[in-house]
């Protein structure tokens, strides 16, 4: 549908109220959703309450992650992390954006045996961090600025980006399911 051809108002299929078209989110296919934003959010909340099992699982996963993080091998100093940030020009290693808060992202997830060493950490924005989670098939870009301005990739020192991708691929194949594992 052509955006300009949109009607000003639309009927919400849930609350049956006629609302301004802007009150309906895009359906991602060039049109609009048939339920208004308010009903959409309500549905989401109801869904969350109707599946406490999923919530418990999410909480358990989070707990397992915190435990893993404490037990994970290796470590780094704040200075090393700051240098790392600088190497990436304070940009997200995945999408390259610099206008968002950056968090420490484990290239090889702790759940897959990754360490807390600086070589396994890259800056990532919250949304890339959330998107990647424990996935191994999403590899970060090399830093846009190398440690001495050479533009040379500095992660990890032992393998180039292709080697890293291959390693990640192998790890991904060896992992049967994305479910959290309780090791130890
Ligand atoms: Zn509605
Ligand atoms: Zn990002």
Kindly state whether residues 83 and 31 are assigned to the same domain: no
Backbone angles phi, psi at 121, to 5 degrees: -115, 140
Decide: 150 and 105 in contact? Cβ < 8 Å.
no
Ligand nearest to the CA of 40: 1
Kindly state whether residues 81 and 164 are assigned to the same domain: yes
pLDDT above 90 covers what percent of the chain? Answer: 32
The tens digit of pLDDT for each residue in 52-76 reads 787 788 888 888 878 877 788 899 9
d(C-alpha 140, C-alpha 166), whole Å: 13
Ligand nearest to the CA of 16: 1
Kindly state whether residues 80 and 9 are assigned to the same domain: no
Kindly state whether residues 38 and 79 are assigned to the same domain: no
56 occurs within a structural domain: no
Higher pLDDT, 178 or 48: 48
- Ligand 2 centroid–CA 132 distance in Å is 10
The tens digit of pLDDT for each residue in 96-120 reads 888 889 999 998 888 888 899 999 9
In terms of DSSP H, where are the helices of the chain?
37-50, 52-71, 78-87, 126-132, 161-174
Kindly state whether residues 46 and 110 are assigned to the same domain: no
Q: Per DSSP, what are the bridge partners of residue 19?
A: 10
Kindly state whether residues 163 and 84 are assigned to the same domain: yes
pLDDT of amino acid 17: 93
Domain total in the chain: 2
66 occurs within a structural domain: no
- Ligand 2 centroid–CA 102 distance in Å is 8
Kindly state whether residues 151 and 115 are assigned to the same domain: yes
- Ligand 1 centroid–CA 42 distance in Å is 9
Kindly state whether residues 79 and 44 are assigned to the same domain: no
- Ligand 1 centroid–CA 55 distance in Å is 26
Backbone angles phi, psi at 182, to 5 degrees: -95, 100
Q: What CATH number corresponds to the domain at position 16?
A: 3.30.60.130
Q: What is the mean pLDDT of residues 154-164?
A: 43
Kindly state whether residues 33 and 115 are assigned to the same domain: no
The tens digit of pLDDT for each residue in 132-152 reads 766 666 777 766 543 334 344
44 occurs within a structural domain: yes
Decide: 123 and 104 in contact? Cβ < 8 Å.
yes
Kindly state whether residues 39 and 107 are assigned to the same domain: no
Run of H or E including 161: helix 161-174
Task: Give the residue from 111, 110, 91 showing the smallest Cα distance to 102.
Answer: 91
User: What token pair was written down for 73?
Assistant: 């091998």
Kindly state whether residues 81 and 147 are assigned to the same domain: yes
- Ligand 2 centroid–CA 93 distance in Å is 7
Kindly state whether residues 90 and 161 are assigned to the same domain: yes
Residue position matching structure tokens 């870009």: 141
Run of H or E including 123: strand 121-125
Quote the domain boundaries for residue 32. Answer: 3-50
pLDDT grade for 121, boundaries at 50, 70 and 90: very high
| Angle between helix 37-50 and 52-71 (nearest 10) | 70
Given a cut of 90, whether residue 10 has pLDDT beyond it is: yes
Q: What CATH number corresponds to the domain at position 93?
A: 1.10.30
The tens digit of pLDDT for each residue in 27-58 reads 888 889 999 999 998 888 887 777 778 778 88
């Amino acid at each position: 549908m052509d955006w300009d051809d949109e009607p000003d108002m639309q009927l919400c299929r849930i609350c049956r109220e006629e609302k301004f078209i802007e009150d309906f989110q895009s359906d991602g296919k060039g049109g609009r959703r048939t339920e208004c934003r308010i009903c959409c959010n309500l549905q989401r909340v109801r869904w969350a309450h109707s599946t406490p099992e999923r919530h418990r699982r999410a909480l358990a996963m989070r707990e397992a992650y915190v435990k893993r993080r404490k037990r994970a091998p290796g470590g780094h100093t704040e200075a090393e992390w700051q240098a790392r940030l600088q190497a990436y020009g304070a940009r997200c290693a995945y999408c390259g954006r610099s206008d968002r808060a950056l968090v420490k992202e484990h290239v090889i997830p702790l759940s897959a045996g990754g360490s807390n060493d600086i070589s396994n950490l890259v800056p990532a924005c919250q949304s890339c961090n959330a998107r990647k989670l424990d996935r191994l098939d999403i590899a970060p870009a090399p830093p846009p600025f190398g440690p001495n301005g050479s533009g040379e990739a500095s992660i990890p020192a032992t393998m180039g980006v292709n080697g890293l991708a291959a390693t990640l691929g192998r790890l991904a194949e060896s992992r049967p399911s994305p479910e959290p594992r309780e090791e130890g």
